Amino acid sequence: MFSVRDNKTFNTPRIHSKSFMEFLKAIEEKWQGKWEKAKIFEADPDPKKPKYFITVAYPYPNSPQHIGHGRTYTLADVHARYMRMRGYNVLLPMAFHYTGTPVLAMAKRLADNDKNLIHDFIKVYKIPEEKLKELTDPMAMAWHFHQEIKTGMKEIGYSIDWRREFTTIDPHYNRFIEWQFQKLRQAGYISRGSHPVGWCPKDGNPVGQHDTVGDVEPEIAEFTLIKFKQNNLAFPTATLRPETIFGVTNIWLNPNTKYVKATVDDEQWIVSKECVEKLTHLNRKVKVLETFEGKKLVGHYVENPATKTKIPILPADFVDPKNATGVVMSVPGHAPYDYVALENLGKTPSQLKEYGLTPETIESVKPISLIEVPGYSEIPAADAVKKMNIKEQTDPKLEEATKEVYRHEFHNGKMKPNTGKYSGLSVNEAKEKVKQDLIAEGKATTMYELLNRPVLCRCKTECIVKIVQDQWFIDYGKQEWKALAHKNLDEMEILPEELRSEFNNVIDWLHEKACARKSGMGTRLPWDKNWIIESLSDSTIYMAYYTIVKHIKEHKLQPAQLTDEVFDYVFLGIGKATEIAKKAKLDAKIIEEMHSEFMYFYPLDSRHSGRDLVPNHLTFMIFNHTAIFPEKLWPRQIATNGSVMMEGAKMSKSFGNIIPLREGVAKFGADPIRLSVLSTAELLQDAEFSPAIAKSMRERLERIYKFTSEVAKSSGNAKTSQNLLTAIDRWMLSRLQEHIRKATEAMDKLAVRKTINSVLYMLEQDFQWYQKRIAPQKEKRKNTIECVYRRVLDAQTRMLTPVAPHLCEELWEMMSGKGFVSLASWPTADESMLNTEVEENEALVKDVLEDTLNIIKATGMTPKKIYYYTACPWKWKVYLKMLEKASHGEVKMSEVMKELVAEDDLKKNVKEVANFAQKTLKEVNRMPQDRRERVLKMKALEEKAAIEDAKDFLKQRLKAQIMVYSEEDSQRYDPKNRSILSMPFKPAIYIE
C-alpha cells in the first residue's frame, strides 16, 4: 500500500480507525439522506431510457436479517447500481413475505416461554425484554422484524425504490394471488389428490425438515403389509422386501409390548398398540376390540399366504412396536436380524419354556434360501452375521449387515426355483412384482411409515405419516408445461452458468407440489376457502406486482376493485380498458397506467436469490411465468450466490453464529460490510466472513480515502497537455485501461469478486508501482503526476461505487465531481491509451530489477556500481527474424542460419550470430503466438533509453550507482566482458 507519510508534499492529519469509523457513520447518514431526498432510486417508466428490472427474493420477517442474507441483497444492489451507471433506468423494489406458518409458530413458542427462543431474541437479536410480550402476537412479531430488516437495508445503502413495498398478506396482494391461481387452474395446472406427509399428531400440522428436532427430513417409505392369516384374523407383517415371502419361516412379535386386535376397515387385524393411531391417520377405519401383551400369541400358528405353509409366531426383542405394524415376518436366510434372533432363541431354553415353546419347535425352523447371490453362500444372512461377528439381536451392527446383504441381493441377486413364477427374476424386478401380485390377490396392502424414525417435531412429539386427503397441487409434472419451462431456461442467462444443468434437472424432476395448507398466513384458495396458499406457491410471479403496486397505493384502490378482469387487462392486455374499468368502478386511466408501467418494466431482467432456492422457488418462478405470461415477458436472467460462512461454519440461526446485519454495519461500516460479503468468493462458492476481513476492508477504504483527499486538496489540474506525459505516465494510463476493461468484463458476469480484485488490488498494485517510479521526479513534475493521479482515482472511484457507494460519493464530492457518483457513468476503456511499447519497456525495467536482486541474493554481495549492457542492433535483427519465422512454424537452426548468413551486415561475424541464434532458438520456438505478434509489431525496443529513464529509480532501489551502456558502446566499462551475454529483453549485468 502506498504510504501517506512518503508523500512529503502532503500534510495529512492522521485519522485513527476509531474516528474513521465515526467518519463512515457520518457519511453513510449524509448520503443516504441525500439519496432519499433526491429520490434518485425511484424509477418510473421513461421511454427515452432502456429499463432494467432487478428483483431479489423478498425476506421472511421472522428474524432480523444477518450478514449471510446480506450477501444476496448486496449483490442485487451492486448489480442494480452497476446497471444504473451503465445508463439503464433501473428498478430495484422490495417487499416482505409474511406467508406461512413460521411466524405463527415462533409467536406461539414465545408465548410458551421457550427458553432458547427467548435467549436468541434477547442476546442475539438484542430485543429489549419488555418488548417480548408484545411479540407473542404474530402480526406484531412480523411487523417488528419487517421494520428491522427494512431499516437494515437502508442502513447498508441499498438503492431500493421503497414506494413499491408491500407484504404478502395485503388484501390487494391476495387479490393478485387469487388471480394467479385462477389462471393456473384455467390452464389445467391445478390438480387434487391424496398425499402422504410427515405429520405431528400433537400440532396437527405437516412437518418438514425445519420443523423437526435436529432438522431431519422425514423420509417416507411405503411398506408392504403381507397378511398372514389365522383363520379370519390377519397378521399384517410390514416389510420393505415382499419378495422374501417365500423364505418366511415364522412371525415375530415383541412379547413384552402391547398389541391389539382391531377391526381395520372390513378385516380383523393384530397390530401393535402404537400402530392404531397411525392407521387412523392413513385414513383407515380402526376399532380396537381387545388389548394384550405380545407373548399371549407366541406359539400360535399362521398361514403364509404365498406358500400356504403353517408357521409359528415367535418372540423377539428387536421388534419395535413403534415401527409400522409391530408385526414382522421372519426370513432368517436373508435377513440378519431374523437369523440372529432365531439363534438367540435356540440358545435359551428357559425362555422357551416361559412362552410354552418346545426346543423342537425352534429346531424345526430352518432358514430357507430363496435368492442366489454371487459371493455368498446359501444363507447370506449367516455370512454377514459371521463376518461382522454379531451375537445379539440388539447389536447395532445388524443395521449395517442388513444393508450390506440387501445391497448385494438387490443388485446381483436372482430368485431361486422355490419362488414359483418369480424364479429367475432379479430381486430388483421380483420385489415390485410380488408386491403388486399380493395386493391384487388381496393378500397384502400397503402402509406409509417413516424410514428414519424416530423423527421428533420441535414440540418433542414423535412424528408419523399422514395421508392428507383432497390436497391441492400445482402439477409441475405436466410434460407440456415442462417443455415451456425448458424453453424459458434455454433462452435465459444463468449466473453462474454452472448451475444451468441443475435447473434442467429440477425441471425434469418436479411433479405435483402441494400448494395449500390448512394453517398459516396467506391467501385463501379462491375456489376452496378452506385452504391457504403456501409460501412457495404465492411467490412465483409477484415481480409483476411491483410494477403496479405504486398505482394501487397512489390511487388508494380497494381490493375489490382489482377484479380478475382488471388483472387480465393490466398483465395480459385482455379486454377493453373502459369496459373493465366501469365494471370495477375505477378510472380507466389508472388501468392504462398500470398496464403501460407493467409493459415498460416487464420482462424481469434479473432475478437474484441464494442458490438454495434453485430446486424450488427459482424453478417455480420459471414454470409459473411460462404458464401465465406470453413468451416475450418471461424472465431473462437468474443470478444466484452461495451462503456466507462464519469462521468456517455456515452462518445460520441454528448454529448460533449469526451477526445481524445491522450490528455488522454499526460495527464495521456499511461499505466495509458490502465489500466483505462480495470480495471473498465468486457467486458459486460460499463466502467467508470474519470480523478480521471486515476490518481489513475498512482499513483499505481508509487508505484510499486518505490518499484521495490529499490529491483532492492539492491544486493539481485534472488536465495536462499530452506532450508532458512521460513514458511512465503513459504506462500508468495504459494499465488503467486494461483494468477498466477487466473490471467491466467481470461485472457483466456479476463476477464481483473479480471486479473488486481488479479495481482494488490489481489497479492498486500498478498504481503503487507508479508512485514508486515517479517518486524521484515528484517535485519536478508535480502537475503532470497529479493529473495522472486524478485520472486513476476518477476511474477507481466510479468502479468502486456499486460496492462502496457511501465512500465513493464522498470521494466524488471531494474531487469535485458533479452530482451523485451513483448516477455517474461507468468508465470505459480508452483503446487509444493502450500502449504496448511503454508496457514492454516497463516490464523490462521490472525484469532488470528482479534479475539484479537475484544476483545480489545468490552472490551475497553488496553492490556499489551496477552496469547494464543492452543488446546491440544486430542481435535484435536476428531475434526478430527468428520470431518472424517461428510464427510460421517451428524454426530449425540450419534453415535460420542459411537466411541469416545471406544478410550482408551479419556475414561479418557468423560465429557470434550462430552462437546467439542457438541460444535464442528455444525461446523463440516456445513463445506464445500472441506475444510473438506483439513483439514483431513493436520491432526493437529502445532498451537503453528505457533503463536510462528508470536510472534514478533503480539507483534508489538498489542503493548503488547505475551505468547503462549499449553492448557496442566503445566507451563502455566492461572488465569481465559481460556485455556479450546481452540479449533482447535481457540486458547483461555486471555488478561491482
User: From the CB of 260, what's the least distance to RNA, in Å?
Assistant: 29
Long-range CB contact pairs, 475-479, < 8 A, 24+: 475/189, 475/190, 475/191, 475/511, 475/512, 476/510, 476/511, 476/512, 476/513, 476/620, 476/623, 477/510, 477/511, 477/512, 478/188, 478/189
Contact call for residue 991 and RNA (CB under 7 A) = yes
User: From the CB of 653, what's the least distance to RNA, in Å?
Assistant: 11
Do 370 and 246 contact (CB within 8 A), yes or no? yes
Interface region with RNA, contact rule CB under 7 A, candidates 308-316, 396-404, 450-458, 608-616 = 608-616
Q: Which of 93, 138, 152, 198 binds RNA (CB under 7 A)?
A: 198
Contact call for residue 535 and RNA (CB under 7 A) = yes
Contacting RNA within 969-988 (CB under 7 A): 976, 978, 981-982, 985-988
Q: Which of 617, 662, 735, 791 binds RNA (CB under 7 A)?
A: 617
Using a 10 angstrom Cβ sphere, with 0-12 exposed, 13-18 middle and 19 or more buried, the burial of residue 958 is middle
Interface region with RNA, contact rule CB under 7 A, candidates 81-89, 266-274, 450-458, 857-865 = 857-865
CB nearer to RNA: give 675 or 725: 675
Complete DSSP assignment for 398-439: HHHHHHHHHHHHHHH-EE-GGGGGGTT-BHHHHHHHHHHHHH
Is residue 300 classed as helix, strand or coil in its secondary structure? coil
Contact call for residue 413 and RNA (CB under 7 A) = no
Interface region with RNA, contact rule CB under 7 A, candidates 36-44, 457-465, 612-620, 630-638 = 612-620
User: Parallel, antiparallel, or unpaired: how do β-strands 250-253 and 310-315 relate?
Assistant: parallel
161/606 Cα distance (integer angstroms): 16
Interface region with RNA, contact rule CB under 7 A, candidates 94-102, 381-389, 555-563, 567-575 = 94-102
CB nearer to RNA: give 345 or 494: 494
Contact call for residue 194 and RNA (CB under 7 A) = no
Do 94 and 69 contact (CB within 8 A), yes or no? no
The set of residues, in sequence order, having a beta carbon less than 8 Å from that of 860 and lying 6+ positions away, is none
Residue whose C-alpha cell reads 534479475 in the numeric block: 851
C-alpha dist (Å) from residue 33 to 26, 37, 40, 809: 11, 6, 11, 12
User: From the CB of 815, what's the least distance to RNA, in Å?
Assistant: 22
Contact call for residue 688 and RNA (CB under 7 A) = yes
C-alpha dist (Å) from residue 875 to 230, 920, 933, 968, 987: 105, 10, 18, 11, 12
Per-residue binding string, RNA, 489-518, x by CB under 7 A, is ---------xx-xx--x---xxxxxxx-x-
CB nearer to RNA: give 853 or 936: 853
700/694 Cα distance (integer angstroms): 10
162/14 Cα distance (integer angstroms): 39
Contact call for residue 680 and RNA (CB under 7 A) = yes
Q: Which of 30, 185, 195, 482 binds RNA (CB under 7 A)?
A: 195
Contact call for residue 529 and RNA (CB under 7 A) = no
User: From the CB of 852, what's the least distance to RNA, in Å?
Assistant: 7
CB nearer to RNA: give 354 or 498: 498
User: From the CB of 287, what's the least distance to RNA, in Å?
Assistant: 29
Joined together, the cell numbers standing for residue 363 give 429346531
Contact call for residue 475 and RNA (CB under 7 A) = no
Per-residue binding string, RNA, 32-71, x by CB under 7 A, is ----------------------------x-x---------
User: From the CB of 854, what's the least distance to RNA, in Å?
Assistant: 4
CB nearer to RNA: give 5 or 556: 5
Contacting RNA within 804-843 (CB under 7 A): 840, 843
CB nearer to RNA: give 2 or 301: 2
Joined together, the cell numbers standing for residue 591 give 388501468
Contact call for residue 99 and RNA (CB under 7 A) = yes
Contacting RNA within 288-327 (CB under 7 A): none
Interface region with RNA, contact rule CB under 7 A, candidates 81-89, 217-225, 309-317, 814-822 = 217-225
CB nearer to RNA: give 99 or 488: 99
User: From the CB of 98, what's the least distance to RNA, in Å?
Assistant: 8
Q: What is the amino acid identity at position 258?
A: K
806/21 Cα distance (integer angstroms): 13
Do 217 and 406 contact (CB within 8 A), yes or no? no
User: From the CB of 816, what's the least distance to RNA, in Å?
Assistant: 27
The set of residues, in sequence order, having a beta carbon less than 8 Å from that of 509 and lying 6+ positions away, is none
Contact call for residue 931 and RNA (CB under 7 A) = yes
954/962 Cα distance (integer angstroms): 7
User: From the CB of 272, what's the least distance to RNA, in Å?
Assistant: 25
Contacting RNA within 693-712 (CB under 7 A): 696, 699
Is residue 584 classed as helix, strand or coil in its secondary structure? helix
CB nearer to RNA: give 250 or 641: 641
Joined together, the cell numbers standing for residue 893 give 537452426
My answer on whether omega of the bond before 454 falls inside 30° of 0, hence cis, is yes
Give buried/exposed letters for 865-903 (b at 16+ CB in 10 A, else e). Answer: ebbbbbbbebbbbbbbbbbebbeeeebeeeebbeebeee
User: From the CB of 807, what's the least distance to RNA, in Å?
Assistant: 18
Do 387 and 340 contact (CB within 8 A), yes or no? no
Do 237 and 286 contact (CB within 8 A), yes or no? no
Cα of 812 vs its chain's centroid, Å:
34
Contacting RNA within 100-129 (CB under 7 A): 100-102
User: From the CB of 901, what's the least distance to RNA, in Å?
Assistant: 26
Short-list 116, 112, 118, CA closest to 131? 118
User: From the CB of 472, what's the least distance to RNA, in Å?
Assistant: 10
Residues that bind RNA (rule: CB under 7 A) add up to a total of 96
Do 618 and 609 contact (CB within 8 A), yes or no? yes
Short-list 60, 136, 16, 925, CA closest to 538? 60
Q: Which of 8, 16, 37, 632 binds RNA (CB under 7 A)?
A: 16
Q: Which of 22, 432, 470, 612 binds RNA (CB under 7 A)?
A: 612
User: From the CB of 217, what's the least distance to RNA, in Å?
Assistant: 5
Q: Which of 853, 893, 901, 910 binds RNA (CB under 7 A)?
A: 853
Contact call for residue 654 and RNA (CB under 7 A) = no
Q: Which of 27, 184, 207, 670 binds RNA (CB under 7 A)?
A: 207
632/571 Cα distance (integer angstroms): 12
Interface region with RNA, contact rule CB under 7 A, candidates 305-313, 485-493, 677-685, 870-878 = 677-685
User: From the CB of 888, what's the least distance to RNA, in Å?
Assistant: 13
Contact call for residue 460 and RNA (CB under 7 A) = no
Interface region with RNA, contact rule CB under 7 A, candidates 200-208, 229-237, 294-302, 657-665 = 200-208
Contact call for residue 459 and RNA (CB under 7 A) = no
Do 492 and 638 contact (CB within 8 A), yes or no? yes
CB nearer to RNA: give 314 or 989: 989
| Phi and psi based region of residue 406 (left: phi greater than 0; alpha: psi -120 to 50; beta: remaining) | alpha
Cα of 24 vs its chain's centroid, Å:
30
Contacting RNA within 124-163 (CB under 7 A): none
CB nearer to RNA: give 306 or 793: 793
Contact call for residue 767 and RNA (CB under 7 A) = no
Contact call for residue 950 and RNA (CB under 7 A) = no
